[in-house]
Structure 1
Amino acid sequence: MKPTNTPLPLRILSRSHVQSLLTMQDAIAAMRSAFVQLAGGQAMVPLRTHLRLPLREAEALFMPVFLAEQQLAGLKMVGLHPFNPAEGQPFIQASMLVMDALSGRPVGLVEASLLTAMRTGAASGLATQLLAPEQARVLAVFGTGAQAPFQIEAVCCVRPIEEVWVFGTSVEKSQAFIARQAPKYSCRFYAATELKALRRAEIICTATNANNPLFETSHLRAGVHINAIGAYRPDMAEIPPEVVARSRLYVDQREACLKEAGDITQAIEGGYIRPTHIQAELGELLLHSGKGRKNPAETTLFKSVGNAAQDLACAAALLKKAAAREVGTLVAMG
Structure 2
Amino acid sequence: MLHISAADVDRALTFPGLVEVLRDAFRDGAVQPVRHHHAVERPGSAGSTLLLMPAWTDFKAADGKDGHIGVKIVTVSPDNNAIGKPAVMGLYLLLDGATGEPEALIDGQRLTQWRTASASALAASFLAREDASRLLVIGAGALSSFLAKAHSAVRPIKEIRIWNRTPANAEKVAAALRAEGFAAEAASDLEAELGQADIVSSATISQTPLVKGARLKAGAHVDLVGGFTPDMREADDDAISRARVFVDTRAGATKEAGDIVKPLASGVLKEADIVAELAELARGQKKGRESAEEITLFKSVGAALEDLAAGIAVYRALKR
Aligned partner letter, 2:11: S
**Map 1:4-43 → 2, pairs under 5 A:** 10-37=1-28, 42-43=29-30
Q: Which residue of 1 aligns with 2:172?
A: 176
| Cα-to-partner distance string for 1:12-52 (whole Å, 9 max, x where unaligned) | 21112112212222321222123223xxxx41111223455
- Once the two structures are TM-superposed, the CA of residue 293 in structure 1 deviates from its matched residue by 0.8
1:158 partnered with 2:158: no
TM-score by length of 2: 0.90
1:135 partnered with 2:131: yes
Q: Which residue of 2 aligns with 1:119?
A: 115
Of 30, 33, 55, 1:46 maps to 33
Aligned partner letter, 1:47: V
Moved more, 11-20 or 49-58: 49-58
C-alpha distance in 2, partners of 1:294/1:53?
43
1:322 partnered with 2:304: no
Q: Which residue of 2 aligns with 1:63?
A: 53
Alpha carbons 2:161, 2:186 under 8 Å: kept? yes
C-alpha distance in 2, partners of 1:29/1:80?
28
Alpha carbons 2:70, 2:95 under 8 Å: kept? yes
C-alpha distance in 2, partners of 1:66/1:301?
29
Alpha carbons 2:171, 2:185 under 8 Å: kept? no
1:247 partnered with 2:243: yes
- Once the two structures are TM-superposed, the CA of residue 138 in structure 1 deviates from its matched residue by 0.7
Relative contact order, CA 8 A, sep 6+: which one is greater?
A: 1
C-alpha distance in 2, partners of 1:161/1:210?
26
Query: CA separation of 1:290/1:50 partners in 2, compared to 1, >3 Å: closer, same or farther?
Result: closer
Q: Which residue of 2 aligns with 1:167?
A: 163
Moved more, 83-92 or 24-33: 83-92
Aligned partner letter, 1:33: D
Q: Which residue of 1 aligns with 2:276?
A: 280
| Cα-to-partner distance string for 1:61-90 (whole Å, 9 max, x where unaligned) | 322111235411111112345676677754
Aligned partner letter, 1:28: V
Mark the structure with the bigger radius of gyration.
1
RMSD: 2.2
1:292 partnered with 2:288: yes
Any idea what SS the aligned residue of 1:43 has?
coil
Alpha carbons 1:137, 1:162 under 8 Å: kept? yes
C-alpha distance in 2, partners of 1:163/1:259?
35
- Once the two structures are TM-superposed, the CA of residue 108 in structure 1 deviates from its matched residue by 1.5
Alpha carbons 1:26, 1:317 under 8 Å: kept? no
Query: CA separation of 1:214/1:59 partners in 2, compared to 1, >3 Å: closer, same or farther?
Result: closer
Query: CA separation of 1:291/1:177 partners in 2, compared to 1, >3 Å: closer, same or farther?
Result: same
Aligned partner letter, 1:61: L
Alpha carbons 2:167, 2:186 under 8 Å: kept? no
Moved more, 236-245 or 91-100: 91-100
| Cα-to-partner distance string for 1:220-261 (whole Å, 9 max, x where unaligned) | 110101111112111111111122122111110001101011
C-alpha distance in 1, partners of 2:165/2:84?
23
Moved more, 74-83 or 252-261: 74-83
TM-score by length of 1: 0.86
Fraction of identical pairs, as percent: 33
Alpha carbons 1:143, 1:207 under 8 Å: kept? yes
C-alpha distance in 2, partners of 1:82/1:194?
23
Aligned partner letter, 2:17: D
1:105 partnered with 2:101: yes
Any idea what SS the aligned residue of 2:195 has?
helix
C-alpha distance in 2, partners of 1:53/1:246?
37
Of 214, 218, 241, 2:210 maps to 214
Aligned partner letter, 2:187: A
Alpha carbons 2:203, 2:225 under 8 Å: kept? yes
Any idea what SS the aligned residue of 2:91 has?
strand
Q: Which residue of 1 aligns with 2:64?
A: none
- Once the two structures are TM-superposed, the CA of residue 173 in structure 1 deviates from its matched residue by 2.6
